[in-house]
Amino acid sequence: MGSKKRKPLIRHLINTLMAIIILSVGYVCYTIVYDLRVRFINRSELNDLASKNKEYEARFEHFVNDIEKESGWKVRIISGLRSRDEQIQLKRDNPQNAPVNKSRHVLGRAIDINLYKREGIFTIWLKKFSSKASWQKTGVPTIALRYHLLWGGTYKYYHDPVHFEIN
Ligand SMILES: [Zn+2]
């Protein structure tokens, strides 16, 4: 009698365990593919910058590498070199954006980045709307100083913590 009752329970436990293993492996694969994709995007953004100025690109590349080595955050470059047309459109969308003759992005002298890290099954992001204090806590603005990059988090009238530029 007892063994008949136990068997379905064991089967149930094995099924649950299998489901957990499959989900975990799936999640790990997903994160690996995601990170590779981000790396690929970062690389192509840096290549675009290099086409404008190799010395500036090298500074941004070291900056990104140092963040990933020292801060525990991963970097996703969301904007690098922009065409004049793209900048004109951005200014139209949001008047707080720089005009085309002032934007460092058009000159290949600026990048916008998001930061992310995983804690368990959660991914934490730092983006444009994140507070200045939370960006400062990552140590990234300090690393930017090392490469003489001006941080958009220090702007007086515009909150732009994703932006780093050579001025
Ligand atoms: Zn920017």
Domain ranges for the chain = 2-165
Strand partners, 67: none
Q: Tell how far the Cα of 118 is from the centroid of ligand 1, in angstroms.
A: 25
pLDDT at 43: 98
Q: Which amino acid is at 134?
A: S
Which 3 state secondary structure label does DSSP give 144?
helix
Q: Band of the pLDDT at 96, cuts 50, 70, 90?
A: confident
pLDDT at 133: 97
Q: Tell how far the Cα of 106 is from the centroid of ligand 1, in angstroms.
A: 10
pLDDT at 156: 86
Q: Tell how far the Cα of 79 is from the centroid of ligand 1, in angstroms.
A: 7
Q: Tell how far the Cα of 141 is from the centroid of ligand 1, in angstroms.
A: 14
Q: Band of the pLDDT at 159, cuts 50, 70, 90?
A: very high
Which residues make up the environment of ion ligand 1, defined by Cβ < 5 Å?
A: 110, 112, 163
Q: Which residues contact 93 (CB under 8 A, 6 or more apart)?
A: none
Long-range CB contacts (within 8 A, 24+) of 96-104: 96/158, 104/165, 104/166, 104/167
Strands 110-119 and 150-151: unpaired
Q: Can you give the pTM of this predicted structure?
A: 0.87
Q: Judge whether 160 and 153 are in contact, CB under 8 Å.
A: yes
What would the mean pLDDT of 138-149 be, rounded to a whole number? 97
Q: What does DSSP assign to residue 156? A: S
Q: Tell how far the Cα of 20 is from the centroid of ligand 1, in angstroms.
A: 41
Q: Tell how far the Cα of 162 is from the centroid of ligand 1, in angstroms.
A: 7
pLDDT at 4: 57
- Report the topology of domain 2-165: Muramoyl-pentapeptide Carboxypeptidase; domain 2 (3.30.1380)
